[in-house]
A and B are shown apart, each in its own frame.
Chain A
Amino acid sequence: MENEPFVPGLAGKGGHLIALEEVLDALKLQAGVLDMDAFRGQWRVVVDSSQLHATLKRLKEAWQFDMLVDITCVDYLQYQHATDRFGMVYLLACTERNQRLAIRVLLNEPNLVLPTVTDLWAGADWMEREVWDMFGIRFEGHSDLRRILMPEAFAAHPLRKDYPRQGRGERHNFPVVTRDQS
């Protein structure tokens, strides 16, 4: 990058602008890609959980999706016509070509385990911890998978749909400090 002028979106050797469609066409041939569709101009690719890491690695290394924007999860427990319990979402962005792509993985109990992507993006560390804390999905290979937002002793995963909004009384479970005690 030192000597050649910076041209956004050039993929080095070929020297042409890689359209998102090219990436999608290539992805179609990739093993483990189950489905892809677009909504409001945003492409989503559904990947089998066993091929997740390989797909993300390929997207990062071969197609320059260098930024992991977010990792999140959706609990489809009460969603109409839903067939799977959890949907993991990996939002990727290519900072050079300015493209976005969402990778989705569907998960069902009891196999709530995914490979970690902290080896690809260091930024995934806390995002995966948050998903573990809120949804109870484990990430294999994560070096420090602790709860991040809730207290360590908390028992439930609060963003699951079967957990009530007002909790199960944990918020009332504290000793009372009175005037005399101070």
Chain B
Amino acid sequence: MALELPDNVVVTKLDALASWCRKNSLWPMPFATACCGIELMGTGASRHDLARFGAEAMRFSPRQSDLMVVAGRVVMKMLPVLQRIWLQMNEPKWCISMGACASTGGVFDTYAVVQGIDRFMPVDMYVPGCPPRPEQLLQAIIDLQDKIQQGGTLAGREFARAQRSRVLVDLSASGPCGPDERAN
């Protein structure tokens, strides 16, 4: 059946449309701990202007955002906080590990620094550099947009709520250096 369509009508899959909407309105949650956070600020500020890629709406509340940018090293005391914030974010969500420290520990191969956050939580995109230049972070966001477009929603975990056993991770059971549980 041949269908005559006017020029200003586009046919697409609903799935692709949803992905297209999602990728162009990422709301980052800046988890900025150290030096990379300053470059993240630089990326958002006037010269590099993250708004060109639709990701300028930085939200500090995990409930309102869908892209976590972990900028800077994560240390023992901070990791439970990071995990808790990640768990508080709603699907669909993505995570960018910005900089060498967040990805591998970087120069800080010491007792206190977690050697890459991907050991303890999922990561979608790694940005090399110490710290990465704003251009690199922009490239990571563009790449992530591609990934979101390709991924689609059909395999989307956000619809699989029924099967998902909502395992709440017991963050307090984390050994001798676990989270700070002093009852004040």
Contact = CB atoms under 8 A, between A and B. Distances in A.
Interface of A: 150-155, 158, 163-168, 170-182
B80 interface: yes
B169 A177 contact: yes
A151 B178 CA distance: 7
Contacts of B79: 174
Contact of A154 (B113, B176, B181): B176
A167 B110 CA distance: 7
Contacts of B76: 150-151, 154, 170-171, 174
Contact of B91 (A175, A176, A182): A182
B122 A177 contact: yes
Main secondary structure of the interface of A (DSSP, over half): loop
Nearest to A154: B177
Contacts of A168: 111
Nearest to A146: B182
Nearest to A165: B110
Nearest to B122: A179
Contact of B112 (A158, A174, A177, A180): A158
Interface in B127-158: 157
B111 A173 contact: no
B109 interface: yes
B110 A176 contact: no
Contacts, number: 97
10 contacts: A151-B76, A151-B177, A168-B111, A171-B111, A171-B115, A172-B119, A173-B178, A177-B169, A179-B122, A180-B167
Contacts of A172: 115, 119
Interface residues of B, number: 39
Nearest to B75: A171
Top-4 shortest CB links A-B: A167-B111, A173-B175, A170-B177, A177-B121
Contacts of B91: 182
Given A177-B121, A180-B167, A153 B109 contact: no
A145 to B, nearest CB: 14
B111 A152 contact: no
A150 B110 CA distance: 13
A180 B114 contact: no
Given A150-B177, A170-B175, 8 more contacts: A151-B77, A158-B111, A165-B111, A170-B176, A171-B114, A173-B178, A181-B167, A182-B93
B174 interface: yes
Contacts of B173: 175
B17 interface: no
